[in-house]
Amino acid sequence: MKDIWSLIDTSSKGEIFKDFPDEELLGLLKDYYLGNKKLVDLIYIYDLQTTPSLIRKHFPKIMIGEKCEKCGNEKYKELPTKAGFKDFVKNIDSDLHFNEPRCTICGHIQDDVDCLCMDCRIKKRELILKSFSFEEPKRLVKFKLKERLILAVILQGLKISNGSSDCRYESQIFPQLFFEDDYIEEIRYLCKNNILVVSPSSSIEAFVKPSESLSYPNEFYIRKVSYSLKNLELMFGSDENWFEDLKFPHNLSYSLEEKQELWKYIVTNELLKLFNYQFQNYNFHYKWDKEGCEKQIDAIKTEIRTLLVKNRYTPAQIYAILWIGIRQSIANREKIKAKGYPLHHKNDDVQFVISYGIHNFLKYNTEIKEFEFPTSGEVSVVTRIFFEQILKQQNWFYTKYPDNIEDINLDKFLSELSDEKKQELKKRINSEENEE
């Protein structure tokens, strides 16, 4: 067995032992490992200017007879704790060469593709820069009203300012950006359409380790990487107001179909939030299993969309229907029980409320009053931006589903036409009337 004391390289000692002769330093180590002295005892005996928790960091190290492949320095093995010293000595012959791949000088780990020593970090950063840097704009797969809205929500919700090079996913955003606590799907959607791109300055730890990836660094953790507006800057950067126009969208061109799709999606989800508050407040519950819960949510969403689009109620009227429907379903349940009639949907609270509350209320009430938006309610950021900034509709809660283009200001449209265009439009109208 090798003599452990002969393998110690005293020149590798730390700062607090710099004035210690070799023999005295070895004596201190033997007092600690072989005697009954504790670290705190060493401070008083040897007049050390440190604390017990730092002493071992300054102990000299053991030579293992190898050099680091990166920095070329001698590789060392650190001395163990006092409790582990006995096993350390016992296994020293087999342990020295095989269980210390890390260089104590530069930190490089031999034969480890995941090593994050300075040299390996630089090489990994070079690979990331090569994979995610670009100078020519990438084609925007989609960049219509929906994409502009999602981008504006993220820029405003995360308070990103012009000049901020990157943005990152953040949890616990309030008020809620969209309609889920997690908006990672919106981030994923923008990346898919080249609106947001992964920033090459993202933390190395945000990428899947080489040992776990077949295409390093092209696999990454979507919640950890940073995102860049580089592609949008390349596309629109010639306009000095490009960032503000993206963050605060206005005067956008969009089709009626786009407007209808987003209007229906946003209002349905805002009403669902209001329904959920009342629903749970009266001790109704969604099913515990994911599939069952999703089916119930789809059912109430379908009911809300029908009231919006087919029945042409305003959101304020639908809120009243939901509010009254929940309470009426409870009252009807008691009446049915009292009369001994069979009760349907006993195991589905949502269908119970729809059948015994909402449908029952609508059956006997044709004139529906509007309820005000509750003062305790908080609209999502996407709702505020869509209605207040894009559609310029502050009173959306009292507005019906847009099934035509009557919201276009015709007088404003005509006033902006040149005399020549007005005459041309008049001729076209007359021509179409004559054809009829």
- Same domain as 229, residue 148: yes
Residue 168's φ and ψ, nearest 5 degrees, are: -130, 155
- Same domain as 287, residue 236: no
Residue 393's φ and ψ, nearest 5 degrees, are: -120, 95
Give the DSSP letter string of 222-266.
Answer: TTTSEEE-HHHHHHHTTSTTHHHHHHS--S----HHHHHHHHHHH
CA distance 386 to 267: 11
Are 362 and 157 within 8 A, CB to CB? no
- Same domain as 299, residue 263: yes
User: Considering 247, 282, 308, which residue would you say is the last residue of a domain?
Assistant: 247
- Same domain as 336, residue 266: yes
- Same domain as 227, residue 269: no
- Same domain as 66, residue 162: no
Residue 109's φ and ψ, nearest 5 degrees, are: -110, 115
* pLDDT for 89: 84
- Same domain as 303, residue 275: yes
* pLDDT for 103: 84
Structural domain contains residue 116: no
CB proximity list for 387: less than 8 A, separation 6 or greater: 266, 393, 394, 396
- Same domain as 267, residue 241: no
Are 318 and 272 within 8 A, CB to CB? no
Which tokens in the block code for residue 302? 């379908």
* pLDDT for 410: 44
- Same domain as 168, residue 234: yes
Structural domain contains residue 350: yes
The number of distinct structural domains making up the chain is 3
Structural domain contains residue 412: no
- Same domain as 163, residue 65: no
Structural domain contains residue 94: yes
* pLDDT for 406: 45
- Same domain as 235, residue 155: yes
Residue among 233, 319, 317, 235 nearest 273 (CA): 319
* pLDDT for 118: 94
User: Considering 223, 247, 271, which residue would you say is the last residue of a domain?
Assistant: 247
Residue 139 is classified by DSSP as: P
Ranges of residues in the chain with a pLDDT under 70 are 1-2, 93-100, 165, 339-344, 404-436
Domain with 330, as residue range(s), is: 256-398
Residue 62 is classified by DSSP as: E
Gyration radius (Cα) of the chain, Å: 35
Residue among 112, 139, 101, 4 nearest 60 (CA): 4
Q: Which residues partner with 77 through β-bridges?
A: 62
* pLDDT for 407: 45
- Same domain as 310, residue 390: yes
- Per 3-state DSSP, what percentage of the chain is helix, strand, and coil (rounded to 5)? 50, 5, 40
Q: Which residues partner with 335 through β-bridges?
A: none
Structural domain contains residue 351: yes
Structural domain contains residue 262: yes
Local structure of 100: helix, strand or coil? coil
Give the DSSP letter string of 385-399.
Answer: IIIIIIS--TTGGG-
